Chain A
Amino acid sequence: MAIHPSAVIEPGARIHASAEIGPFCVVGPKVSIGPGTKLIQGVTVAGRTTLGARNVIHPFCVIGGDPQDLKFKGEDSTTSIGDENVIREGVTINKGTMTGGGQTVVGNRNMIMALAHVAHDCLIEDHCILANACLLAGHVRVESFAILSGWVVVHHFVTVGQSAFIGGATRVNQDAPPYMTMQGMSGEVRGLNSIGLKRRGVKPEAINCLKEAYRIIWRSALPKPEALAEVEKLGGQFPEVRNLIEFLRASDQGHMGRRREHRRPAPPPSAPPPEPEDDIE
């Protein structure tokens, strides 16, 4: 086990023999670090946090810190980071809150670039890219292969669909549909992420059908339910098209275009109504 003598490892931390802990790192007592994971230098890992195998955590990241949430009362919630993630300089990943499910999860092989912030109770699946200074508010879900460009802000409870591409400095206030590109302060769907789909090896026929689906859903005057029915008729045989339709229907059944809003904890009956957002990240 390569632990630099200046690193502070609290008693109770479990560190695999092949992990590397660089100078001036601080590792808390409830932390578990898997094989081959590297903390380069000055990294803080706090809370009940698990880092899997072969992750590389760059300087000044803080993983598993307390949530920036007024409802948090010091509960022993968790942060779980999978395998082979690259987490660049100064990234903060907060632990969960009990009212929000109690865990923040990052899957495998994600690239989280410098200064990005992943708030409490977020779920990032696999192979995602969060570019520099990307800002996820609480309870956000990012599905596999999504790419969030620099300076993107994502509202609480938003779901970013798989293989979605979010352009630079976009404000994502509603669910970002899978396979599509989104851009701008009002988070408009701008087209199909055809490059991403080709990279995933999606069949050309399915890509063409998704392109037509984009035109019908976002560029025709058809009301949403009818547009979705039309798209279903057109390409229901492709799993990607079915996934897109299911995603959009679920978002419409949510609140404010966000399917995960139902996870927002209800206030106790006696309490005065809370402000709509107590956590603006």
Chain B
Amino acid sequence: MKAHATALVDPAATVASDVEIGPFCIIGAGVRIGPGCSLGPRVSVRGPAVLGRDNRLHANVSIESSVTIGDANVLRESAHVSAGATVGSRNRFGTWVDLGAGVVVGDDAVLGSFVVVADRCVVGSRAKLEGQTVLEPGMTVGAGARIRSQVPVAGDVPESALLDGNPAEIQAGGAA
């Protein structure tokens, strides 16, 4: 573990030897961080939580307790993952993305900046939520769906659908 001298890593955390931990990070008890991960300045992982391998957490990212994160995800500045959320692999989260409690995100999804995913939502694999998308609690976005920026999402979004407009409508042709 290459932790900066100012980082606080709990002795009860398990961190792989090549993980980089930036200045002022706080890693709690029961956190497991896999090889190849890098944490920017001021990242907080409360724990218990599991981060797989090759994840990159940029400055000011905050991960709460009982969170499971797969491999090779990129979480941009100030992204926040609430308690009990599960994130797959190779997802990309923009700045200030907020995942609520118990949210499940599949693999290869892209969440633009300021996306808010409220509690218990499910975001399918390869879904693309453009900047400022807001999902209400319990909504489901199907695999491969795409939601255009700022669209007011009123209900579940089917697989591979393209959602745009105000009020939101599923567009012909789908997300592909």
Question: Chain A residues in contact with chain B, CB under 8 A?
Answer: 6, 8, 24, 26, 42, 44, 60, 62, 65-66, 68, 90, 92, 115, 117, 133, 135, 137, 151, 153, 169, 171, 185, 280-281
Contact between chains at B96 and A185 (CB < 8 Å) = no
Task: Verify if B119 is at the interface (C-beta below 8 Å from A).
Answer: no
Contact between chains at A44 and B131 (CB < 8 Å) = no
Contact between chains at A171 and B78 (CB < 8 Å) = no
Most buried by B among A8, A65, A185, A280: A280
A62 to B77, CA, bound (A): 8
Q: Smallest CB–CB gap between A72 and chain B, Å?
A: 11
Contact between chains at B96 and A68 (CB < 8 Å) = no
Chain A residues positioned under 8 Å from B166 (CB to CB): 185
Contact between chains at A62 and B58 (CB < 8 Å) = yes
Contact between chains at A151 and B40 (CB < 8 Å) = no
Measured CB to CB, the nearest residue on chain A to B164 is A185
Task: Verify if B137 is at the interface (C-beta below 8 Å from A).
Answer: no
Chain A residues positioned under 8 Å from B77 (CB to CB): 62, 65, 92
- Tell me which of B46-54, B64-72, B81-89, B106-114 binds A: B106-114
Q: Smallest CB–CB gap between B98 and chain A, Å?
A: 12
The one of A8, A137, A151 that contacts B23, using a Cβ cutoff of 8 Å? A8
Contact between chains at B113 and A117 (CB < 8 Å) = yes
Measured CB to CB, the nearest residue on chain A to B151 is A185
A63 to B40, CA, bound (A): 13
Contact between chains at B113 and A281 (CB < 8 Å) = yes
Chain A residues positioned under 8 Å from B130 (CB to CB): 153, 280-281
Task: Verify if B42 is at the interface (C-beta below 8 Å from A).
Answer: yes
* Given A117-B113, A169-B150, CB of A26 within 8 Å of CB of B95: no
Instruction: Give the secondary structure class of A's interface.
Output: loop
* Given A24-B24, A44-B41, A90-B78, CB of A153 within 8 Å of CB of B131: yes
A171 to B23, CA, bound (A): 37
Chain B residues positioned under 8 Å from A185 (CB to CB): 150, 165-166
Contact between chains at B41 and A26 (CB < 8 Å) = yes
Q: Smallest CB–CB gap between B58 and chain A, Å?
A: 6
Contact between chains at A60 and B150 (CB < 8 Å) = no
A151 to B152, CA, bound (A): 14
Chain B residues positioned under 8 Å from A62 (CB to CB): 58-60, 77
Most buried by A among B78, B95, B132, B149: B95
Measured CB to CB, the nearest residue on chain A to B111 is A280
A185 to B59, CA, bound (A): 31
Task: Verify if B17 is at the interface (C-beta below 8 Å from A).
Answer: no
Task: Verify if B6 is at the interface (C-beta below 8 Å from A).
Answer: yes
Contact between chains at B6 and A281 (CB < 8 Å) = no
A172 to B94, CA, bound (A): 19
Q: Smallest CB–CB gap between B36 and chain A, Å?
A: 15
Query: Could you pull out 19 A-B pairs where Cβ atoms are within 8 angstroms?
Result: A8-B23, A8-B24, A8-B41, A26-B22, A42-B24, A42-B42, A44-B41, A44-B42, A44-B60, A60-B78, A65-B59, A66-B58, A68-B94, A90-B60, A92-B95, A115-B114, A117-B113, A280-B112, A280-B130
